[in-house]
Amino acid sequence: MLTLALAGHTQPEMADRLGLDLNGVRSHVRWLKEFTGCRNLRALGPWWLAHRERWLAVHAALAGLPPPGHVP
């Protein structure tokens, strides 16, 4: 969803592209806004651009996976 927000998609477009219920997308976007402190969907895209590397590294570590881009 964050990548779609970065690309400027609306919530209905996200639901359609992801094959999800619109209410589910709205709920997830609401949680993302609360978590990130972003006021609207448009602000989530730039937030993701600025934080995605750290976000992915932290969540990979939590899952016991190597960081993104890790080559064994």
The 3-class SS string of 3-62 reads HHHHCCCCHHHHHHHHCCCHHHHHHHHHHHHHHHCCCCHHHHHHHHHHHHHHHHHHHHHH
pTM for this model (two decimals): 0.80
In this structure, whether the domain defined by 2-62 belongs to CATH 1.20.1250 is answered with no
Domain range list for the chain: 2-62
Q: For 5-61, what is each residue's pLDDT tens digit?
A: 999 999 999 999 999 999 999 999 999 999 999 999 999 999 999 999 999 999 999
